[in-house]
Amino acid sequence: MTAANDRIALDEWRNRALAVEKEISRVVIGQQRVVRLLIIAIFARGHVLLEGDVGVGKTTLLRAAARAIGGPYQRMEGSIDLMPSDLLYHAAIGADGRPRIENGPVLQKGPELAIFFFNEINRARPQVHALLLRLMAERSVTAFNKEFAFPYLQVFADRNRLEKEETFELPAAARDRFFMEITVETPIDREVRRELVFNSRFHDVDALIAGVSAELIDFHQLDAAAELIQATVRTSPTLETYLLSLWEAIRYPGAAGIELDGIDTDRLVNGGASPRGMSYLVRAARVRAWLEGRDVVVPEDLREVFVEVVAHRIFLDLIYEMRRERIIRDLCRAVFDKIPTP
C-alpha cells in the first residue's frame, strides 16, 4: 500500500513540476532545455551557477521560478568592495542619531528564505565566497553570536565571464558546491528573437513576472518530494556499470584510449569528477527520469545532464585551462563515443 501511495504522490508532484516548467517557459522563451535543467536542480535540491551573456534572462528565469514555487526570494549584487557582513546586516545611523543594525539580504526573510540569487559572484572577494559556501553546504550562517538556519534554501548565482578586471575566480572547492553549472545563451531561433525584441510583453520584466501563476507547489515540501524521488527511481546494475565506465574515462582519458587533436590526454586531467560529483549525476538523472514518467534511469538520463553536473568538476592541466570550454565539450563527446551505451 505504501508503494502505491508513493507512486500517487510522485505522479502529483510530477504534474506540479511540469506546471512550473510550463509557467516559466511562458516568460523565458526559447530556453526549454535551460528551464528543464532548472526544474531538475529544484527537485534534486541542488545549488546552481548560471553562466551567460548580460541580458539573456538569467534573473528573469530565477524570479519566475521563485514566484512559481511560492518561496521568498532575495538577490545580492557582487562587487569588489562587498564584505561578508554585507550579506548578513547593515549598520546605519538612525534619525535619532543612534546606530542601528538591520538584517541584510540573507537574514531579511528569516528561515522561510527559499531562493537566494548572487549576481556576478566572481566580482566578490574570496571572503564572501567562503560565507556563501557555508550557506550552501550547511543551509546556515552565524551572526550576532547566533546560528540562523534556512531549511528550504537553494542558492543560485551567475558569473560574469566577459570581464576579467576586478574579478575573483571561484576556487575548485566553491565550484564543486554547485550542483549544476548551466549556460544560458541567446536563443538561436529567429522567431524567438523577433518576439523578445519586438513584443512589448517582454520589455517590462516586473509585469512579466507578475503574470506567472504563483505558488504552484509548496516549497516547504520540496525536500520530502526530492527524497521520495531518489528512493523510488531505480538504477540497474547495467546502468551502474556504464556510469562507472564514464567516470573512469573522464578522469583518465589517456588510459581509456580517448584521443583529442593537439592534446596529450595522458596529462589533460589533473583531478576532479569526485565521488560527490558522480553521486550528484545520479541524483540529477533520477529526477530527469521521473520527469519523463519513468521509475528507472536509462543512459539518456545520464547523458542529458552529464555536462552540467560533471564538467565544472573536471580540473585540467594549466596549459589547457585557457581553452577549457572547448576542450571539456570535446572530451565529454569523445567519452560518450568511446564508452558503449548499454
**Which of 168-172, 200-204, 221-225, 307-311 comes out lowest in average pLDDT?**
168-172
Q: Distances from the Cα of 272 to the Cαs of 125, 132, 173, 176, 326, in angstroms?
A: 24, 21, 10, 9, 18
- Whole-angstrom Cα distance, residue 300 to residue 332? 14
Express each pLDDT in 274-314 by its tens digit: 899 999 999 999 999 999 999 999 999 999 999 999 999 99
Q: Look at residue 182 and give its three-state secondary structure.
A: strand
Q: What percent of the chain has pLDDT over 90?
A: 62
Query: Mean of the pLDDT values across residues 216-221?
Result: 90
Average pLDDT of the segment spanning 17-41: 95
Cell numbers at residue 229, please? 524521488
Q: How far apart are CA 169 and CA 172, in angstroms?
A: 9
Q: By mean pLDDT, which of 86-100, 148-162, 253-267, 298-312 is the weakest?
A: 86-100
60-104 pLDDT per residue, tens = 998 898 888 888 889 999 888 899 999 998 877 777 777 788 889
Q: What is the mean pLDDT of residues 240-264?
A: 94
| Of the candidates 205, 137, 222, the residue with the CA atom closest to the CA atom of residue 173 | 137
The C-alpha cell 551567475 sits at: 158
Whole-number Å distance between alpha carbons of 226 and 246: 25
The answer, yes or no, to whether residue 7 has pLDDT greater than 80, is no
Among the residue ranges 43-52, 162-171, 227-236, 319-328, the one predicted with the least confidence is 162-171
pLDDT at 176 over 70: yes
Q: What is the pLDDT of residue 162?
A: 67
* pTM recorded for the entire structure: 0.93
- Side-chain-side CA neighbours of 94 within 13 Å: the count stands at 6
Cell of 341: 551505451
Percent of the chain exceeding pLDDT 70 equals 97
